[in-house]
Structures are given as C-alpha cells and as structure tokens.
C-alpha cells in the first residue's frame, strides 16, 4: 500500500530516535552491570529491548507503506558517567520520543492514516511507561540519596 510521504518521513525520524535510544540504553545497562548494579542493569536492558521492538514495528510499517527504512548510525546518544546522569539522559531521550510520537499521531490524523495512528498510540503508551519508571528512579535517588539508592540496585 502506497503511504503518505510525510508519514514515511516521520516514521523514519522516529526510527532514528529509537535506534539512538537502543544504543544509549544498552550502553547504560552494560555500564550498570560493570558497576555491579544488576537490578538496574536488568531494568535498563529491558527498556532497550522494548525500544528494539518499537524499531521493528516502525520498520514493518514503513515497508508496508512502500517506504524505505533509514537505518543510519545513531547520532543522539548521551552516555552518563554516573547512574544519576544516565537516568537524567534517559529521561531526556524519552521526552524526545514522547514528543515525536505525539507529533506523528497528529500527522497521521491529519492525513487520515488510522493504521499508523493506532500503532503510534500503542508505542506512545509504552514510552510514557518508560518515562514514568525513570521518574520513579530519579525520585528515589532524590529521597534516598544516591548511595542508598545504589545499594538497592546490587540485589
């Protein structure tokens, strides 16, 4: 099915964001594992895997719309040196994703592409869950202090 060029371009833009997030989150997950924070490693790794699934859905939709997925190297990777910086950087990445998905939904409604709108809405909900989890982590750091928070991540 021939898709709208604006939609395909937006899907490729969202795909670029997802590919960047995957790389950033995998780096943060492996840094946490290296620090010995295995609980945090698993949490961030699971988020990276969810982003991989988002990228897969975007690629599938682009191909369905007879577009060409653009799989260029990610450019928006912000690796944090500390766990707190990692959480802050991941929060910023999720804000970009949420804004992008909201823009994509608006565009899909404008051009009457309800299939894309539905898919983007489902991914948006997952991105909102991600940012909620990150905000919980940041609030725990604020309330407990970083040392107490990190002790909890060793388990």
pLDDT at residue 85 tops 80: yes
- A 10 A CB-CB count for 92 gives 15
> What CA–CA distance (Å, rounded) separates 73 from 146?
33
* pLDDT (tens digit per residue) in 1-30: 899 999 999 999 999 999 999 999 999 999
> What CA–CA distance (Å, rounded) separates 15 from 120?
12
In the structure encoding, which two tokens stand for residue 12, read together?
């490729």
Under a CB-based contact definition with an 8 Å cutoff, are residues 49 and 132 in contact? no
- The CA–CA distances, whole Å, from 91 to 21, 43, 60 equal 11, 14, 26
Q: Is the pTM of this model over 0.85?
A: yes
Which structural domains are found in the chain, ordered by start? 5-153 (1.20.1260.10)
């Amino acid at each position: 099915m021939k898709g709208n060029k604006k939609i395909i371009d937006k899907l490729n833009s969202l795909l670029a964001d997802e590919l960047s997030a995957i790389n950033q989150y995998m780096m943060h997950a492996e840094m946490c594992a290296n620090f010995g924070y295995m609980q945090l490693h698993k949490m961030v790794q699971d988020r990276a895997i969810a982003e991989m699934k988002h990228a897969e859905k975007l690629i599938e939709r682009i191909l369905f719309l007879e577009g060409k997925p653009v799989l260029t190297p990610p450019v928006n990777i912000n690796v944090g040196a500390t766990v707190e910086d990692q959480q802050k950087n991941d929060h910023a990445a999720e804000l970009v994703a949420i804004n992008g998905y909201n823009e994509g939904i608006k565009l899909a409604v404008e051009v009457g592409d309800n299939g894309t709108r539905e898919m983007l809405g489902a991914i948006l909900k997952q991105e909102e869950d991600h940012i909620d989890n990150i905000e919980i982590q940041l609030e725990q750091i604020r309330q407990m202090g970083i040392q107490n928070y990190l002790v909890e991540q060793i388990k």
